[in-house]
Chain A
Amino acid sequence: MDLAGLTEDLHALRDEAIAAARAAASTGDLEQLEVDLLGKKGRLTVVLRGIGSLPAEDRPRVGAIANEVQTAMRSALADAASSLRSRELADRLAAEAVDVTTPGRSIRRGTYHPIVETADRITRIFEQFGFVVYEGPEVEDDLTNFRMLNIPQDHPARDLWDTLYVDVENHLLRTHTSPGQIRVMQSTRPPIRALLPGRCFRYEAVDASHASEFFQVEGLMVDEGTTLADLKGLLDQFAQAMYGRGQRTRFRPGYYPFTEPSVAFDVECLVCGGSGCPACSRTGWMTILGAGMVHPVVLQYGGIDPERYQGFAFGMGVERIANLRHAVTDLRLYMENDLRFLEQFR
């Protein structure tokens, strides 16, 4: 073998290898080709065995050519591998395609009951103003439910609360959350900002607008300088938080034995915006809660000096607030628990 012959063989091998690399059908074929050409027993090795028969001065020259050939073959193999891999990936991706328009796998989530959710929302709003939550018993004693709230036995005002009585001496099912005012005052000292959510009961035939069991949230604030104006400010904030910014409100006189003065708190009709409609009895206003300055009798039963301290209390029906928020007009839906109704909420 002479130099020219060996050089020719190397170039031939190079050209063959480049052609074979381009023709390879898969990365597997290509890997095999690489072994065949460049492996320990590959064809390049075989060809280079002929180097031993060359004169010593030609050997470096052949070495240089062999390196060139090897580089060219590796480059051809790498290019071929790269294009094969992209083609194979494209094929796989095409084969893996799914119909992406099918519905997702459903993940079930339950729903909050609208009454509890509304009570929660009311609670959160007042918590932002420093009110803390208390709870009282639902089977309440007559004294705390009525007498201590300035509603004596045999007072005509008792007609305002149709009461369910129980077979426990001097006990009844609380008709409002207001007895909680007494319990809070007896257990803590001013400054007081208390919120009392809970279930209440009335002797009331059930229809679209009357319930025998319902939920109220009571609020109480007592300090030396707590005024009716503070109550107005706070309730204005509440109305905005609940029904949106710019909500117009008003106080008008009300009557509760446990507040003096007593007020009703109205918001501009959420249905007609104040122009008058059946929902607001054409007055343009809707009453959402009752409130007032805590009556001195109540403060005293709570152990608080009515000359030094004064405060306000308010009480709202959660169903009333929820009705207005959710456009519900029949109270019975809340206790029926038909999931078709409940699952509309979130």
Chain B
Amino acid sequence: MRVPLSWLRDYVDVELTPEQLAERLTLLGMEVQKIERWGADWKDVVVGELLAVERHPHADRLFLTRVTVGAGEPLDIVCGATNIAPGQRVPVALPGAVLPGGRRIERTEKMGVTSNGMLCSGDELRLTADADEILILSDTAPLGAELISLYGDIVLDVDVKPNRGDALSLVGLAREVAAATGAQIRWPETDPVEGGDDIEQRLAVTVEAPDLCPRFVARRLSGVRVGASPDLVQMRLLAAGMRPVSNVVDASNYVMLELGKPIHTFDAAAIAAGTDGRATIVVRRARQDEPLETLDHVRRTLDRETLVIADPERALGIAGIMGGADSEVSETTTDVVVESAIFDPVAIRRTGQRYALRSEASLRFEKGHEVRLARIGADRCARLVAEWAGGDVARGRVDSDSVEPAPSTVTFRPDRVNRLLGTSLSVDEQRALLARVGLESEAAEPDDRVTVALEPQPVVVEPAPGTAITALVPTWRRDIVIEADVAEEVARVRGYDVVPSVLPHTPMPGWRPSPLEVRDAVREMLIGAGLSEVITFALVSPRLHDAFGLRAPVPSVGGEPPPGGDRIEVTNPLSRDHSILRQGLLGSLADVVGTNRRQGRADVAIFEVGKGYGREGDRTREWWRLGVALTGAAEPAAWNRAGRPWDVDDAKGLLELLCRRLGFGEPAYAAERDEPVLHPGRSLRASATGDGGAPTLEAVVGELHPDVVGAWELRAERVVVAEVAVAGLGGGQLTAVRASPPSRHPAVERDLAVVVADDQPAASVVDVIRASGGDLLHSATLFDIYRGAPLADDEKSLAHRLVFAADRTLTEAEIDAAIEGITAAVATELGGRLRA
């Protein structure tokens, strides 16, 4: 809310600098976000007095004026406005002056006459809305004074929190200032001077929907002259961020800003009469598809949820949101009806959202109002209209429910307030602090109860005798209901520096494993292996989601929810690019590869640990995955070594390292030829198990399909990717190692070259060797693949290093027997032989 300080001073004395005031308000919870110097964009605009006003010799519509600004020779200035006369004091922009918007004023020639500056309109100074006439200043404005010293202002931009609708007003903020400084509040005069008819003879109000409109107060004026508001009013409205419209409309806006109570004004002539001949206002729900042209000249069709202000014939406006064009106060209006009502906040909020219409008024209605403000607002507005536009205020008001509830009370225990805050404020001190914001208090009566909570179940306790205080809550403080609300009020008024800084001395909770343990181990390992961590959007485009979706998603392991299901869509996305919750990481990582390659970056090695999201009907699920993308050089060329590009073996190596780090078995590989996003000849599925044989790692690994690399402009020859499910990624612990002492007997190494068909997967050969090698075979590792003479064209030789070990010294005969067993198995199971 924009608060012009000159206006605020109508209601409270402020003897602080704007900066000091801003800090005091901020520390009171009314955060000042900006201090604006209103008028700071005027330069060399001073008060002048018109000495002479004559017709311009060459232009009918222009005048030649002589103006004194006190010192120096009078200035000749050409002016087009018609409201000027000698003796008036006016704002003069001297040559070299600057006006709002950066407009510069220079000495110019106008139709053969030199103009030494400019006389300014209110609009040119952004002081009033009047663009046609020169702003006429007070006769007491000192000649030659800089305009900013007279009309400049300080405007505080205050962030009023949603629970403090009462402070969305100058009076409300004046109360806060008073609480901070101890100053007294000056209430504006609200009673209008009544005359003429009794309002009951001219106007009737029927509230058919009291649930949505608990109170409706109307005032009526006759014989008003609609025109511009006084300059001071226009200046205040503009500084507060509202455009002046006319004296009647401005009065309603003025009251809204002043008291926080939105007011609507009608042209009384537009309100149709009821059967008794009186103009009649009906507050009711709209009929389905009832038409209404609103003030913004949009023709709308209403629905039955909408509360309207109507006459017997038609809707005149949407209650609390926007008036109708037909009943708008216009230049021809002579009689005015002032509406000041209380509406149901939720209904207003929903209606505003349905019609996408929200205004300063509806924002205030949404926060709710104290009931008595309906009466006060109507009175104050009628008074101001009469003051600014003349006319007679009809006697009395029409009031649909004039009962004004008494202030509520809240009972609290000063001890509990101290227990919440960690303070030791005395009872008297707490009461004194509350009194500063209008909460008068006394010792609680024996049957007073402390409300600890209202929802979901009321928790109301009986205080120990003599320990509680009951405070009377001002009607405007609708936010103070429970004991904790009082604690906040005490702390806020006292200042939070009263809260000491102590370390908790309450019991510690028991130990619980961190869900980050495995995730952090995986991240640390990959970073050590040279990959950089990235974080990408969980929301992706439908195109990316479709293009990178796997036919067979990587299955979950370690008890995590299964992947896939239907995709989840955002129903109100910011853009299509972020409208689908991703189900895998490959697309997001490819996107990062592309971003970096297009920047000219050659080598990219990245990973992300992130979630996939899916649904089965209305049940949603989320699963964690590791994604990897590698392109460019695994080892960049340097002066002392040749470069080497990333390939699928690197990705497998990372998985093997991961399995070692997490204590999983060695991963097994199988070709994957059917994923459209991947290279059919260079892709695989990997899986590993833990101690008990349960799956602990599942992955798809491969090069991106060349079509995908092209379609997504990755600008890379090859991109190796992997998506990996890892047991514990979503929350798990590293398993403890069970160590055994190393054997004191030497191991025996044997190299064994096996000749098999060229299309025989290497993994199947080593599997056969391991299965047939007997208990003594400790490990079998492929170390060479050979093709060529003397082997046949469709053969290859796979050389393995075998290590035999036992807790005793092995004999040659034992090892020979094991090799024989392997040789036999290779022959029978693979059709292979030993290479001579």
Residues of A bordering B, CB below 8 Å = 102-103, 105-106, 108-113, 115-116, 120, 123, 127, 129-130, 132-135, 137-139, 150, 154-157, 159-160, 164-171, 173, 188, 191-194, 199, 201, 203-206, 212-213, 221, 223-230, 232-234, 236-237, 250-255, 257, 260-263, 281, 283, 293, 295-297, 299-301, 305-307, 310, 334-340, 342-343
Contacts and interface: CB of A to CB of B under 8 A. Distances in A.
A156 B571 contact: no
A310 B31 CA distance: 27
A41 to B, nearest CB: 42
Given A109-B528, A300-B455, A221 B488 contact: no
A234 B504 contact: yes
Contacts of B581: 139, 166, 173
Interface in B524-539: 526-539
Contacts, number: 280
Given A251-B499, A261-B487, A191 B530 contact: no
Q: In this complex, which of A164, A170, A173, A310 has the most chain B Cβ atoms within 10 angstroms of its Cβ?
A: A164
Contact of B453 (A160, A293, A297): A297
Given A130-B509, A134-B515, A260-B487, 6 more contacts: A106-B636, A212-B578, A234-B504, A250-B497, A251-B497, A257-B163
A300 B421 CA distance: 20
B28 interface: yes
Interface in B545-589: 568-574, 578, 581
B83 interface: no
Contacts of B484: 260-261, 293, 295-296
Interface in B628-647: 636, 638-641
B599 interface: yes
Nearest to B165: A156
22 contacts: A105-B640, A113-B533, A116-B535, A133-B512, A137-B622, A138-B538, A139-B568, A154-B345, A166-B569, A167-B569, A206-B574, A213-B539, A213-B578, A227-B419, A229-B502, A230-B504, A261-B484, A293-B484, A338-B599, A340-B601, A342-B532, A342-B534
Given A110-B530, A229-B501, A203 B29 contact: no
A24 B250 CA distance: 119
Interface of B: 23, 26-29, 31, 33-34, 161-165, 345-346, 349-350, 363, 366-367, 419-423, 452-457, 459, 461, 482, 484-485, 487-488, 491-492, 496-497, 499-504, 506-509, 511-512, 514-516, 520, 523, 526-539, 568-574, 578, 581, 592, 595-596, 599, 601, 604-607, 611, 613, 615, 618, 620, 622, 636, 638-641, 731
A191 B507 contact: yes
Contact of A254 (B29, B421, B595, B618): B29
A156 B530 contact: no
A276 to B, nearest CB: 9
A213 B577 CA distance: 13
Question: What are the nearest 4 A-B pairs in CB distance?
Answer: A229-B422, A253-B29, A227-B422, A261-B488
B456 A233 contact: no
B539 A110 contact: no
Contacts of B421: 227-229, 261
Contacts of A233: 500-504
B454 to A, nearest CB: 7
Contacts of B592: 337
Contacts of A164: 539, 570, 572-574
A166 B568 contact: yes
A306 B26 CA distance: 30
Contacts of B568: 139, 166-168
B16 to A, nearest CB: 15
A263 to B, nearest CB: 6
